[in-house]
Structure 1
């Protein structure tokens, strides 16, 4: 990256669109090696958010770390204070940043709840 790109990447987004938030979320999850990341477009389906992202971490420790890093990046880069539930347990962490809701699971917990199936179109494949 050039110095200008570094500055632009570090500068908080003034009022990020839901697409910009989604990009930030997906980048953070990729940086932290989240697995099986699924992005679901909720526009027109519900008013709770524009996007839902579901991802997995390999352990409770990684799930908690992924969630904490995401919350920190949202605050730093998008000036978003997110609501977080479940970080201390590390089995299923919900991060509500307004336009994008993120669920980070341990694989066993994700498999049990299968939350993507509620929101993905019929016949769609996750992953």
Structure 2
């Protein structure tokens, strides 16, 4: 499975859990961290946690193993490491504060099929 397919699976999982403002950034030319960042937010901690679990379930169903999940205990900013795709799931307030889209403004946005 290539990183773009993995990005689409994760984005669909976010959409399935009603994540808001789903944005994908192509990080290949601006960072060595990952090929793509997927950024979204939920309106409360329960939804943020549900989104992260939905992503984990979706990628594992496709035979891929999640490398690490951080932040689930407080569910304000959960990071799901899928190796070449890093998913940032924010609580609305944290997303507004950290504004990763602006921080990584040099990265191109990727069209998602969700």
TM-score by length of structure 2 reads 0.88
2:72 is the alignment partner of 1:81: no
Gaps of 5+ in 1: 1-15
Q: Is the 8 A contact 1:74 1:82 kept in 2?
A: no
Give the Cα–Cα distance (whole angstroms) in 2 for the partners of residues 110 and 103 of structure 1: 9
Q: What is the correspondence of 1:1-127 to structure 2 with a 5 Å cutoff?
A: 16-121=1-106
**Total equivalences in the alignment:** 108
Please tell me whether Structure 1 or Structure 2 has the larger radius of gyration of its CA atoms. Answer: 1
* C-alpha RMSD over aligned residues: 1.5
Greater share of strand residues, 1 or 2? 2
Q: TM-score, normalised by structure 1?
A: 0.80
Instruction: Detail structure 1 runs of 4+ shifted over 4 Å in the superposition.
Output: none
Unaligned runs of 5+ in 2: 110-114
Relative to total residues, which structure has the larger helix share, 1 or 2? Answer: 1
Q: Which has the higher contact order (CA 8 A, sep 6+)?
A: 2
- Superposition deviation, residue 58 in structure 1: 0.8
